[in-house]
Amino acid sequence: MKLDARKLEIPSGTAMVVKALMVLGVVTFAAGIFLAPDVIWKTYLVYHTLFMGFGIGALFFLLVHYLASAGWNVAVRRVMESFVSYIPIAALFNLVIFLGLAKIYPWTDHAYMESDHMLHSKAGYFGTAFFIVRSVVFFAVVCFFSWKLVGNSVKQDEDGALVHSERQKGLSALCLVLFAPLFTMFAVDTIKSLDPHWFSTMFGVYVFVGFVQATAAAAIVMVTWLKKQGYLSVVTADHYHDMGKYLFGFTIFWAYIGVSQYLLIWYANLPEETMYYLDRQRPGWVYFSILLPTVRFVLPFLLLLPRMAKRTPNYLVKVAYLVLFGAWLDVYWMIKPNYSETFGFSIWDIGLGLGFFGFFAFVVTRFLSANNTVPVKDPYLHETMHHHVF
């Protein structure tokens, strides 16, 4: 099989559109600060969380494949690495959130925390300085490991040294040990603390699995786009089959965690737990609470069941788009009901959504234009070039 590992050449029209979207996002945010500050910060949190999830999910894929010494994924690994390269940018966007903490999180109001005895014991944890420290620690860890893992992969393209692959497994093991507790803390801080009364021991896992499922879908979309542009000729129906199995598996896993969390809260029937779902069963949100599991589990599960579904790119990418819509709805559903009794999609959603997409697309395409689209000197390259699913 002939290896085509060219660097991505971005069409000038595509580059202009991406830059225009970035400008649109910045202008929308700046305008929102003056015209609708109470809305813009919540909307910013939605899209920052959504696109950051692609980077976090891609980092997880790198970790598990290096630990498993997997070879089939080498053909599509650069796509995951391009997603991971967005994590430092997400860290910068997270710094912006620190400027709007008072507009986003109710626990920043001391009077609010003092008004309810249930919150008194949480006051020590929900402190602005402590919150910032925790966020900085999380991003420092994931940025460091992202830099090392991606850096070793890129260096191997230049010198072909086996030592780079040997280092990846140790780095992945250490990162995974640190990642699990730090991400749980980060998910609690970023999303769950929007309602400081509520608590769930499964929330961190729920957010994590959602990120991984969305990343699997985004990778399928990106690989398909690259193939249509004439790249990744090494990717075959067998690679799509494995990517489809990941999407199928994490679709089931997301539903399993979501149902488990719901049933535990429903069964215990404690007021401080049920309030989360009661808020999302109000007339303004109940239909979206029904739509969410439909588009993120029921339809993808049924559509991905046939073997054909996972081996047909044009079919699989349509399911991936459906999952991405569900991922957006899930993040929206986790965040916005804390502020509004009804679903309210506005011009701020459009501007910031397109803006964050522009920044993500810029980082991804820039990475792929600076590096080979396939790791040309990876020791498992032969395996991925002759990969077959039986």
- pLDDT (0 to 100) of residue 2: 59
> Would you say the C-alpha torsion 369, 373, 376, 377 has a positive or negative sign?
positive
- Who's near 35: CB < 8 A, 6+ residues apart? none
State phi, psi for 124 to the nearest 5 degrees. -65, -35
90-118, pLDDT tens digit by residue? 999 999 999 999 999 999 998 888 888 88
Backbone angles phi, psi at 145, to 5 degrees: -70, -35
pLDDT tens profile 5-49: 789 999 888 999 999 999 999 999 999 999 999 999 999 999 999
Query: Taking Cα atoms as reference points, which of 201, 186, 204, 179 lies closest to residue 134?
Result: 186
* Rg of the chain taking only CA atoms, in angstroms: 21
pTM of the model: 0.95
* DSSP summary character for residue 72: T
Specify the DSSP class assigned to residue 8: P
| C-alpha dihedral, 104 to 51 to 285 to 204, nearest 10° | -80
**Can you tell me the distance from the alpha carbon of 301 to that of 250, in angstroms, rounded to the nearest whole number?**
10
CA dist., res. 121 & res. 133, Å (int): 20
